[in-house]
Structure 1
Amino acid sequence: MSNQQNQSGDDAIIESRDQLISVFEHGAKPAADWRIGTEHEKFVYRLADKRAPSYDEPGGIRDLLKGMERFGWEPVIEGGHVIALKGDDGAVSLEPAGQFELSGAPLETIHQTCAESNRHLAQCREVGDELGLGFLGLGFWPDKTRSQLPVMPKGRYGIMRAHMPRVGSLGLDMMLRTCTIQTNLDYASEADMALKFRVSMALQPLATALFANSPFTEGKPNGFKSFRSHIWTDTDPARTGTLPFVFEDGFGYERYADYALDVPMYFVYRDGKYIDAAGHSFRDFLAGKLAVLPGEKPKLGDWKDHLSTAFPEVRMKGYLEMRGADGGRWDRICALPALWVGLLYDQVSLDAAWDLVKHWTPQDHARLRAEVPRLALQAGSPNGGTLQDLAKAVLAIADAGLARRARLNRMGDTEQGFLSPLREIAESGMTTADRLLALYAGSTDFIYETESY
């Protein structure tokens, strides 16, 4: 989840609808300027007893952040607390229960984003070894209850924690017990955005299946391959889901802006503090009728903040965010951008992927979203067969797209090799969740050995 980042122009008062749309319009850029952003979260635990450390305790999350400063990271302060770091490799931030996230810099190739991830993980291990901390790559805490988890001192999270139980039964689990990998990608125009949005929204359940990695809750199998994905179905229906309107004629910037305006607010950020506006209307804010700030109209930065509080499977904020994957091991961090770059950054592949999904009905999209958390690759494909069959076809398209990109590292390798973990899963039909379930013998303790970085 985003930290507060004020940018040039964000203080401008919103006077017209065009300013809302401008956030998306300004995101469009020529293909030569397209970049790849990779975000990944991991659980932090004490090596001695597998406990999740609190922020303030000696050797806890605050000390972990402090230790990272030796690598050139600069602290971000909120309320007197270090709650994030910024540097050449992007930003390091905290999820609500101390999940440790790298939001990587926008980079040209997957070789670069994978090197960035490797640098970050090496830094985590160096500081973690000194503090007695480990890092776990999974989509959901395999053994922790909500009550066993700490809460980080970030203002927006306090507002969200209070609001979540009003709108769903699993929102606190989303905040406290999940981790994800995400990829952020660019578009050239409104039409290019719409096609990429449609393809990535349609295939997001496939990504969920390939990255399924959350089959345990509080030490026992939970009946899901991706429980993290299931959690989003009962978090907050007003701001989550698959957005059927994306597939309707005329979809573009304005339609997404209308959707975002209908998402209830969480907060307004003023003078270094978060003002609770949970459940209020941004449309009222535009009219100067927001109850918590009567007579005041929003700034462009308020709109950008608001866009970060919608959580659909694909999200637009001047770029497109792919949000369907569970957290996982280091090679998965490189595999997710490889999948989506191969599909979306090559026109031949993008058109081929669209041909696979363009006939899918709203019922097909809804069924996949409902079935995949439990069945993963064994869910039925709208094209016939299973998602395992679809995965092979989609990975072939992505592989060809990466080959045509021909972005080479110093050894002369293309980006195609980063798809290898996904090819293995697609060929075997065994997701990480299936593998972990096969190893389960009454305890999840083994996961700390097999899935730690």
Structure 2
Amino acid sequence: MADKTDAEPIEIHRQLLDYFASGEKPSDQWRIGAEHEKFVFHLSDLRRPAYAGPDGIEALLNGLTRFGWERVFEDGKVIALTRNGASVSLEPGGQFELSGAPLETIHDICTETGQHLEEVKAVASELGLGFLGVGFSPLWTREETPVMPKGRYNIMRAYMPKVGNLGLDMMLRTSTIQANLDYASEDDMVLKFRTSLALQPIATALFANSPFTEGKPNGFLSARANVWTDTDADRTGMLDFVFEDGFGYERYAQYALDVPMYFVKRYGAPNGGYIDASGQSFRDFLEGRLPALPGERPTIDDWADHLTTLFPEVRLKKYLEMRGADGGPWGKICALPALWAGIFYDRAALEAAWDLVKGWSSADHNRLRAMAARTGLKGEIAGRPVKDVAMDMLNIAEEGLKRRKRLSGGLVDESGYLAELFEIADSGITPAERLLAKYNGEWQGDLRKLYTEEAY
């Protein structure tokens, strides 16, 4: 339940910054959160299920309650589940998401992920459903994709075509893995933000896993990453200002204030409690001049909601979100938080990672972002092969995890979760390129094979 003060009107600008500062934690309290999305499909015809019906998404959610998950409702419909600090939720096209609890180790995350996947597979098998972990829906068009009954998504679907060409694809046809990590202070946040933002395209390349659209190769290794380049320039991208002198909570707050709003949530309002404020200004809201709610000023809860509508490659809330990876199989879900925990949670590793990228220019950052989506680990950045930078990044993370010494059973540290990524970096061949080789070879152009060989 929100603190009472979070529901009271914001009085001074400093409260916006204090929201970020309230996330600061000493290192012994740092935790790791992993999130992953997956596509649900009917085993009979590979189509993505609608929300309603005996074999739909609602039935899947209800079936999971046997494992102790509690339902979350909106307008009388189950739209999420919660249990022990974790949640299961729905993306606009029915992508099924686990937002894990904040946990101490990657071992804990892999255990949590495994339990979740076993639970959803148990229910799904009874409903004739399966799950696929890739970054972009490989077969179905926007029009063939069912839409989930969540109020905020109605507002976003109406607004997206006004600001970009691929926003509806982002909502309906992409799937991702994310990792959330803590910071100790504003200075610590700045160093972590800069380092991870510069390296985010390297993570995109390592996890690139979306080379198909509507049954055919699409020319990208990460179509998901490419979608973000034409979704909404106001709220996406590499945030060049993060690398400028003086960056901190204040500068990020100014950026957030300049991003047009989507909605305001008020209990009892129609459309699931979501009031359409799309394109309106949070700055006007602070002054009581929001057209959607004239005379009313925002609360910290409103500020928190607004921050969730920003979609840069790294996002600041009360922690930092790593947003650069395509959806993928179980091992990749464990590998992403391992990669970032190894860099973030060991000071020597963090400084070494910053040394790796601190000479890159804004042009380098943006060129690498575009290159990662199309060519993965091929090409050069600042005169070095991308493949070599990826290997350096992994070596730094591996040493950081070894120094963390978070052991499973008193014997095995967390560095083993990087093994798949080392294989990718060493070969220079992304998961997407392996899928393309199968498509052009043993699958003989039949993408239905993807749903058997690559399903969970």
The alignment's TM-score, normalised by the length of structure 2, stands at: 0.97
Q: Establish whether residue 452 from structure 1 lines up as the match of residue 451 from structure 2.
A: no
SS at match of 1:102: strand
Q: Establish whether residue 120 from structure 1 lines up as the match of residue 116 from structure 2.
A: yes
SS at match of 1:144: coil
Aligned to 2:354: 354
Aligned to 2:192: 196
Aligned to 1:212: 208
Of the three residues 64, 70, 77, the one matched with 1:81 is: 77
Distance 1:429 1:7, change over 3 A: farther
- Cα distance in structure 2, aligned partners of 1:400 and 1:314: 23
| Of 441-450 and 423-432, the range deviating more from structure 2 | 441-450
Aligned to 1:54: 50
Deviations 1:39-73 (A, max 9, x none): 00000001111111101121110000000001100
> Percent same amino acid among aligned pairs?
62
Q: Establish whether residue 251 from structure 1 lines up as the match of residue 247 from structure 2.
A: yes
Give the counterpart letter for 1:274 in structure 2: Y
Deviation at 1:411, TM superposition (A): 5.3
Q: Establish whether residue 319 from structure 1 lines up as the match of residue 315 from structure 2.
A: no
Aligned to 1:392: 391
- Cα distance in structure 1, aligned partners of 2:140 and 2:2: 35
- Cα distance in structure 1, aligned partners of 2:212 and 2:40: 17
Instruction: Give structure 1 regions of 4+ aligned residues with deviation exceeding 4 angstroms.
Output: 5-8
Aligned to 1:271: 267
| Of 285-294 and 438-447, the range deviating more from structure 2 | 438-447
- Cα distance in structure 2, aligned partners of 1:103 and 1:44: 16
Aligned to 1:437: 436
The alignment covers a number of residue pairs equal to 448
Structure 1: unaligned runs, 5 residues or longer: none
Q: Establish whether residue 406 from structure 1 lines up as the match of residue 405 from structure 2.
A: yes
Report 1:84-95 matches (<5 A): 84-88=80-84, 90-95=86-91
- Cα distance in structure 2, aligned partners of 1:173 and 1:358: 33
Deviation at 1:251, TM superposition (A): 0.5
Deviations 1:88-134 (A, max 9, x none): 15000000011000000000000001100000000010000111110
Deviations 1:268-301 (A, max 9, x none): 0011410000000000000000001000000110
Superposed CA RMSD: 0.9
Contact 1:220 1:443 in 2 (8 A): no
Report 1:91-170 matches (<5 A): 91-170=87-166
Q: Establish whether residue 69 from structure 1 lines up as the match of residue 72 from structure 2.
A: no
Deviation at 1:381, TM superposition (A): 2.0
Deviation at 1:412, TM superposition (A): 1.1
Structure 2: unaligned runs, 5 residues or longer: none
Aligned to 1:424: 423
SS at match of 2:447: coil
Report 1:2-13 matches (<5 A): 6-13=2-9
Aligned to 2:381: 381
SS at match of 1:146: coil
SS at match of 1:105: coil
- Cα distance in structure 2, aligned partners of 1:10 and 1:254: 19
Of the three residues 171, 180, 187, the one matched with 2:167 is: 171
Give the counterpart letter for 2:328 in structure 1: G
- Cα distance in structure 2, aligned partners of 1:9 and 1:447: 50
- Cα distance in structure 2, aligned partners of 1:70 and 1:448: 27
Deviation at 1:9, TM superposition (A): 2.9
- Cα distance in structure 2, aligned partners of 1:411 and 1:375: 41
Distance 1:80 1:7, change over 3 A: farther
Give the counterpart letter for 2:394 in structure 1: L
